[in-house]
Amino acid sequence: MVSLPSLLPCILLALFLWALPGWLLARRLGQGRTAALALAPALGWATQTPAALAVAHLFGLSPVVIIGSAALVSLCALALPRTRDEAAFPLSALVFAGLLALVPMLGVLPKVTADGAIALASPIYDHAKIILIDEIAQNRAIPPANPVFGAGGAAGTVAYYYLWHFGAAELALLSGAQGWAADAAATWFTGFAALALVAGLAFRLNPSLSAPFLALLAASAGSLRPVLAALFGGARVDHVLEPASGLAGLLYQTSWSPHHVSSATACVIAVLLMARLRAGRCAGEATVLAGLIGLAAAAAFGSSLWVGGVTFALAGTAAALVLGLSPPPVGRLRFLAALAGAALVALALVAPLLMAQIHAAAARGSGMPVQMVPFPVLGPGWPQALRAVLDPLSYGLVLLPVEFPGVLFAGVVGFALVFTGRVAGRAEQQTARALGALVIVALAVSAALQSTVGENNDLGWRAVLPAVLVLAAFAGAALAAALSRAVETTRARTGLALLAAGLALIAIGLPDTLALARRNIAGEQSADGRTFASDPALWQAVRRHVGPQVRIASNPARLEKLTPWPINLSWALLSRRRSCFGGEEMALAFAPLSASARTDAAALFGRVFAGMGTAEDVATLRRTFGCDGIVVTPQDGAWTADPFVSSALYRLAEEKDGRWRIYVAREAAP
């Protein structure tokens, strides 16, 4: 199980692997020594991970490939011209960002209760993909095998956007840590990189000591729902508004889905690089920047189909058009040519994953993955016909102010201040226009488009993330400007009013943040917590009998009370072994199976491990699903009605007093 000693090396490796190359690049992109540190984590991750994945496709994954890719990205800095900008960014803001990033990381870690059980926070449900990190780190095959399903026991392919998990696997491979520790470290780094990017961008817009801290406060504010529930009652709020969903603030989304947040940071990095490309005058610099933009775009797509694929395809194009059409006309053709080259680089890098996703979508037969459907905002207290009319308007006028009070108002004011020249210079104004296009289109995608691949509207929930990052930075710049005006006698009243309004909105969003932190720290105790605490020994025994490329069958519903939704977390977090069917929820994301095939497989495995399986069912596990190992525990109905004990297809490899039975396939099975 993950522990602090296994976590710290991964964090240090993340800083070395991503922040160091990012700092070298940022220093050549007009950032001062300290200001470059704020941009470095996001920039380094957005360039090293897609570069390492591309090289691993050619030469396999190894420490040499990982370190060599970081060195290659670092060398790109030498091809960029030197620039001077020595504004003193406050390093304490990075410390603050690192502390805030502990909130999502703590949601991933196990908590030991007084009676020795393990409590887990709800976000761990979405971190069941840790099994993919272990698959990549152990077998080092790129593209990785599918750890959830492989027809007939074959390796299979992963159509999920797995670049973030590949980055975590780099940490696991270099440190020797398990996937759970690497996931926790990568979650912290993702939060740190996103928050540092917000602070650095705020400082770039308004180089005052207060701007980064105010931007971080704005980014950390949560929803107004707890305050509204306290004032009017939760039932009444849910009657007026749709219940809370995954469309939420930065810390919440990093807790649950850090890969989407990383994709959003890569989108913002790509737009910042576009702005630098538009302002450049050197053909050699344009070539390097085109490559970096291509890497960042590939990192965005590789970590999230919804953020880096659908959203950035539209929002990034809008940002590029804004930059291309902006004055001066000199350099416009070079800019467009370089962007075309960047698009080709990105397309080449994402082609393997894109083709895998197309094939998986065809195999699932789920139809169009995106539909134009307004985001539901108003609750059941409104007539259905009226909701259909008002929902599109309510998204911007009601939902965004409720869910993002800390960034929306002050962020819009910040944009206005930059556009009118009251904050930032001419170069920052051009960058702000491109970022404004990114924000507007990202919010429009979230409001109007809906993903249909899974059970949730991941597109609507995640498309807001680039906008949240940018708005938080502009909010910090605006509040810092208001603070400076508040001390001036001529404009004190205006500055105080803006500052008070912005801080008040941040303050009423903080109860939601504190509640998130409390849940992530304490976790949720369950009846299965004590059993889960003893499961590392079970999976250690399994690993003694089956290798990392062997597929095992275990009860997909085992310890289902560990999380609010049923999933076999024991296997996903601790086994470090492939499954022949990891459950319907995991198959929905990873397996190229139709809905009916997933349902049939779930019924088969449920029947067998409930103790109602027949000899024919056991034969199906072996021959159709390629289950070469079987794990039976007292939590399974099969413990007392064991269909494997009399099977000619399996032999008992180990039985531990009332704790587990491990079967392996007979070599000469008929």
545 in the same domain as 490: no
645 in the same domain as 504: no
pLDDT, tens digit (0-9, with 9 covering 90-100), for 250-294: 999 999 999 999 999 999 999 999 999 998 777 778 899 999 999
Please give the pLDDT value at position 670: 37
367 in the same domain as 271: yes
70 in the same domain as 100: yes
Give the predicted TM-score (pTM) of the model: 0.95
What total of structural domains would you count in the chain?
2
395 in the same domain as 542: no
565 in the same domain as 511: no
627 in the same domain as 515: no
The band of 422, judged by pLDDT with boundaries at 50, 70 and 90, is confident
Residue 509 DSSP label = H
Residue 342 belongs to domain spanning: 4-521
Give the whole-number percent of the chain exceeding pLDDT 90: 77
493 in the same domain as 599: no
Q: Rounded to an integer, what distance in angstroms lies between the CA atom of residue 629 and that of residue 387?
A: 52
Q: Answer whether residue 317 is part of any domain.
A: yes
pLDDT, tens digit (0-9, with 9 covering 90-100), for 437-468: 999 999 999 999 998 877 789 999 999 999 99
430 in the same domain as 557: no
pLDDT, tens digit (0-9, with 9 covering 90-100), for 218-235: 999 999 999 999 999 999
Longest dimension (CA), the chain: 91
548 in the same domain as 490: no
Domain limit, last residue, from 476, 504, 521: 521
79 half-sphere exposure, CB direction, 13 A CA radius: 15
233 in the same domain as 305: yes
Report the range of poorest mean pLDDT among 30-39, 78-87, 142-151, 457-466: 78-87
The stretch 156-161 carries a mean pLDDT of 90
Please give the pLDDT value at position 668: 46
User: Environment class of residue 85 by beta-carbon count within 10 Å: exposed (0-12), middle (13-18) or buried (19+)?
Assistant: middle
* DSSP output for 123-169: GGGGGGGHHHHHHHHHH--SSPP-SS--GGG------S--HHHHHHH
Please give the pLDDT value at position 602: 94
Report the range of poorest mean pLDDT among 423-437, 497-511, 652-666: 423-437
Q: Answer whether residue 180 is part of any domain.
A: yes
The stretch 536-556 carries a mean pLDDT of 95
Q: Are 149 and 580 in contact (CB under 8 A)?
A: yes
Average pLDDT of the chain, as a whole number: 92
622 in the same domain as 563: yes
Q: Is the pLDDT of residue 86 over 90?
A: no
Q: Is the pLDDT of residue 85 over 90?
A: no
Domain limit, last residue, from 478, 493, 521: 521
* DSSP output for 174-210: HH---HHHHHHHHHHHHHHHHHHHHHHHHHHHS-SSH
The structure tokens listed for 145 are 């095998």
Q: Is the pLDDT of residue 492 over 90?
A: no
Q: Answer whether residue 670 is part of any domain.
A: no
Domain limit, last residue, from 521, 549, 582: 521
Q: Are 306 and 462 in contact (CB under 8 A)?
A: yes
Which residue bears the tokens 């108002």? 409
